[in-house]
Structure 1
Amino acid sequence: MTKTALITGAASGLGYELSLLLAKDGYNLILVDIDAKNLIKVQSELNRIYKCQVDIIVKDLSKPHVASEIVKEIDAVSIDVLINNAGFGLFGTFSGTDWQRESDMLHLHILTTTHLTKLLLDGMLKRGSGKILNMSSLAAFQPGPLMSIYYASKAYMLSFSEAIANELIGTGVTVTALCPGPTKTDFQSVVSENTVDNKIRFNMACPSKVAQYGYDAMQKGKTVAIPGKLNKFLSVLPRFLTRNKATSIVRKIQDKNREA
């Protein structure tokens, strides 16, 4: 029987790359994104190349109750793989950034992701199988001045994923938190509210390689996946420093990355 995967943020970036990998392995796909134009393009491309069933759902995942709307729309379809990929960043001091944008980020990264996981997990447990991939970040391992809400939301996603992964041991369902560093995707185009100068330039990874790493980790049931040797080193570095020192280093990196 053909398995079905649901991927959020599938119109571009890592969501798109993960959709390609799933289609290549014969999964039917349900792709969710706010970007209708690109979502239709991805659907057409996957249908043409892999001849798989690809359904699309255009939704703003930052809005309340959207997880329930998605599950109602897919009706009785059994989801074997859930990839919570959708997300965005915001650069600037907490006192100077837009609250509505931050509220949308918190709803998307935390509430929608958690609720969608809650709603689809029940079916996986009843079937005794399933895989969940949650998009965390290297940002999850330390506080992030100038991107405080983003870093905090990714720390939540890492902690949440590790906790429920432990709860699900022996059930046939696994949870993986993918924690990439900076990756060359459309994420960079929306980090800044201001100019092109506020973009990360350091340690930039290839999205297809990051997606493959995360995909392989998910299939193996690995709980935390950190692609790249430098990123692995950076993820443990805060353990050997005071929290104030680690936070100061992140601030310097944020400033340096965005120098014109």
Structure 2
Amino acid sequence: MSKTALVTGAASGLGYELALLLAKDDYKLILVDIDAVCLKKTKSALEKTTLLEVVTVVKDLSEKNAAEAILKSINNQPIDVLINNAGFGLYGSFVETDWERECDMLHLHIVTTTHLTKLVLEGMVRRGSGKILNMSSLAAFQPGPLMAIYYASKGYMLSFSEAIANELKGTGVTVTALCPGPTKTAFQETVSSHSCENKITFNMASAKAVAAYGYNAMQKGKTYAIPGRFNKFLAVLPRLLSRNAAAAVVRHIQEKNRD
């Protein structure tokens, strides 16, 4: 019997590339995104590469009880692979940024992702198999002035993923946190023209390459995955600095790249 994979933020970027990889491995796909138009195009493109079913769910994952609503819409069918990819960034000083937007980010990155993981995990453990890939970031390894909420939420996702990966040892279920550095996706468009995410050209990876790296790590059951040697170095560097120094470095990079 074919297995089923659920991917959030699947309409473009890393989510789309990960869905392509799943399709090549003959997974039935459930694709979730807030962008109905783009999601429809993605469904059409993927159906050309697989004979298996592609189901789409248009949903704002920042809404309360979004995780329950998604599973209800697919009749709570068993999920063999869960990829929590949906997310966005927000640039600016915390005292000036919009709370409603930040609240949406916290609900999406933390509440919905955690809840969806919990709801899907029960069935995986009962069946003795399953894989979860959570989208963290290189940002998870240090504080991020001028993108404080984004960095903090990615730090949560890394810590959460590592913790439950340890709890799940011996169950047949694995959890992997993917921690990419700068990646060329629609993410840059949603942050701000001021953010250094829009100014970096050095060390900018393609979504296809990052997705392939993360997918391979998930299939191998690795706890976390950092694509690129330079990114691996950057992930370790904050451990060699004081917390204040690490924050100051990020602040300097962000301010240096203002318009």
For residues 11-55 of structure 1, the C-alpha deviation after alignment (integer angstroms, 9 at most, x for no partner) is 011000000000011100000000000101010111112222100
- TM-score, normalised to structure 2's length? 0.97
Aligned to 1:173: 173
Check whether the contact 2:137–2:179 (CA below 8 A) recurs between aligned residues. Answer: yes
Aligned to 1:39: 39
CA, structure 1 residues 109+196, in 2 after alignment: closer, same or farther (shift >3 Å)? closer
CA distance in 2, matches of 1:259, 1:230: 24
CA distance in 2, matches of 1:76, 1:189: 34
Check whether the contact 1:80–1:131 (CA below 8 A) recurs between aligned residues. Answer: yes
For residues 160-196 of structure 1, the C-alpha deviation after alignment (integer angstroms, 9 at most, x for no partner) is 000000000000000000000110000000001x669
Runs of 4+ in 1 over 6 A off after TM superposition: 195-198
**Structure 1 residue identity aligned to 2:180:** P
CA distance in 2, matches of 1:186, 1:70: 23
CA, structure 1 residues 97+37, in 2 after alignment: closer, same or farther (shift >3 Å)? same
Aligned to 2:217: 217
Aligned to 1:89: 89
**Structure 1 residue identity aligned to 2:124:** M
Unaligned runs of 5+ in 1: none
Aligned to 1:208: 208
Aligned to 1:199: 198
**Structure 1 residue identity aligned to 2:80:** D
Matched, 1:234 2:234: yes
CA RMSD of aligned residues (A): 1.3
Q: Secondary structure at the match of 1:50?
A: coil
Q: Secondary structure at the match of 2:198?
A: coil
CA, structure 1 residues 211+222, in 2 after alignment: closer, same or farther (shift >3 Å)? same
Aligned to 1:151: 151
Check whether the contact 1:7–1:32 (CA below 8 A) recurs between aligned residues. Answer: yes
**Structure 2 residue identity aligned to 1:95:** V
Check whether the contact 1:84–1:135 (CA below 8 A) recurs between aligned residues. Answer: yes
How far the C-alpha of 1:259 sits from its partner, in A, is 4.0
CA distance in 1, matches of 2:25, 2:164: 26
**Structure 1 residue identity aligned to 2:93:** T
Matched, 1:129 2:129: yes
**Structure 2 residue identity aligned to 1:199:** N
Unaligned runs of 5+ in 2: none
CA, structure 1 residues 63+167, in 2 after alignment: closer, same or farther (shift >3 Å)? same
Identity among equivalent positions (%) equals: 69
Aligned to 1:245: 245
Q: Secondary structure at the match of 1:97?
A: coil
- TM-score, normalised to structure 1's length? 0.96
CA, structure 1 residues 195+140, in 2 after alignment: closer, same or farther (shift >3 Å)? closer
CA distance in 2, matches of 1:235, 1:137: 10
Aligned to 2:102: 102
Aligned to 2:163: 163
CA distance in 1, matches of 2:194, 2:204: 19
Q: Secondary structure at the match of 2:183?
A: coil
Q: How does 1:44-123 map to 2 (within 5 A)?
A: 44-123=44-123
CA distance in 1, matches of 2:85, 2:217: 15
For residues 97-129 of structure 1, the C-alpha deviation after alignment (integer angstroms, 9 at most, x for no partner) is 100000000000000000000000000011000
**Structure 2 residue identity aligned to 1:97:** T
**Structure 1 residue identity aligned to 2:18:** L
CA distance in 2, matches of 1:146, 1:195: 10
CA distance in 2, matches of 1:156, 1:195: 25
How far the C-alpha of 1:212 sits from its partner, in A, is 0.2
How far the C-alpha of 1:204 sits from its partner, in A, is 1.1
**Structure 1 residue identity aligned to 2:198:** K
CA distance in 2, matches of 1:114, 1:200: 31
